[in-house]
Amino acid sequence: MQAYLKLIKFDNLILIALAQLCIKYGLFEPFDVDITLNGFGISLLIISTISLVAAANVMIHIQNKEYSTQKETTETVISEKIMNRLFIIFNVIGVGIGFYLSNMIGKPKLASLFIVVSGIFYIYSTYLKEILVLKNILIAFLMALGLISVTIFDLLPAITEQNRASQKVIFLIIVDYSIFAFVIITIREIIKDCLMMDRDHNAGLQTIPIALGKDRTVKLVSGLTIIPIGLIIYYVYTYLFSNSTAVVLVLALLVAPLLYFMFKSWSAENNKDFKTLSFILKLVLFIASLSLLLYQYILK
């Protein structure tokens, strides 16, 4: 069972589901915005989303299978045949539930979104996997889309001329969080490429650490961290500056870890350092998700 959970990156799936629940019950419900999905509907959306992400994780693992140099890996427990079946099963679940959900809310055209997402990683693995940084961006995009999907299926169908202004405020908050998540996950994927540099080199894959070297890559990562820090500071100044408690919490729980990450990444050398950096970013994403629960106390 542990091998299967590792294969689909179960911890990341839990993080996506948590963020979606925090959006639904931390923003939509407390502010009484007009919504489309009930508890059953949001459950379907979560299952569909994490199924498609799980399928993407399986596909990436299949592509890397033959190049693994570790003695004990997931592949020694799960055969490629089973992984291919899992890829199909997760895609069928994700697209099937997405199709049902789209029709349930009276927006059948939205089912195409699930079909497109399902095909993205297959196209990537077949034709585009050697394009530098594309994998990093696609994974980050898929995760960010998981947040946006809550607004697409729950918020947007309920917009009317009367509630457009209030719905727009909530929508823009989610967009901001999605952009932040995209940047953080892109940086984290670069860190993970540093961990897998030897395997990717043997595979003949082009990743940022292979193209630039580890030393330049950690400097790049350190520099890129300025982007999410800048986004947070802008967000605080624009929306939360009048609430001193919120400002202190954001600085302590988000900006401080990112500053530590930035300085720590500058001198990262071994796998232990990169694992620590990856954990810090995962923690930042977790805290950012939970922060959605605080808006009902900050903005009211």
Q: Are 140 and 189 in contact (CB under 8 A)?
A: yes
Q: Is the pLDDT of residue 117 over 90?
A: no
Residue 129: pLDDT band with limits 50, 70, 90: low
Ranges assigned E (strand) in the chain: none
CB atoms within 10 A of CB 269: 10
* 167 half-sphere exposure, CB direction, 13 A CA radius: 17
Q: Are 90 and 55 in contact (CB under 8 A)?
A: yes
Q: Which amino acid is at 123?
A: I
The closest of 245, 224, 76 to 137, measured between CA atoms, is 224
* DSSP for residue 161: T
The closest of 159, 179, 181 to 169, measured between CA atoms, is 159
- The string of pLDDT tens digits covering residues 184-217 is 999 999 999 898 888 777 767 778 898 898 889 9
Q: Give pLDDT, residue 69.
A: 46
Total number of domains in the chain = 1
133: left (phi over 0), alpha (psi -120 to 50) or beta: left
79: tokens are 């055969």
Q: Give pLDDT, residue 70.
A: 47
Q: Give pLDDT, residue 142.
A: 86
- The string of pLDDT tens digits covering residues 272-293 is 999 999 999 999 999 999 999 8
Q: Give pLDDT, residue 238.
A: 81
Domain that holds residue 80: 2-298
Q: Are 86 and 58 in contact (CB under 8 A)?
A: yes
- The string of pLDDT tens digits covering residues 38-97 is 999 999 999 999 999 999 888 888 776 655 544 445 555 788 889 989 999 999 999 999
C-alpha gyration radius of the chain: 20
Q: Give pLDDT, residue 72.
A: 44
- The string of pLDDT tens digits covering residues 225-265 is 999 999 999 888 887 778 888 889 999 999 999 999 999 99
Residue 175: pLDDT band with limits 50, 70, 90: very high
**Higher per-residue pLDDT: 21 or 200:** 21
The closest of 280, 28, 283, 17 to 143, measured between CA atoms, is 17
Q: Are 205 and 133 in contact (CB under 8 A)?
A: no
Q: Is the pLDDT of residue 138 over 90?
A: no
* CA–CA distance, 148 with 172 (Å, rounded to integer): 10
Considering 155-159, 260-264, 267-271, the range whose residues carry the highest mean pLDDT is 260-264
CA distance to 158, 234, 260, 287, 290, per residue, from 253 (Å): 34, 16, 11, 7, 11
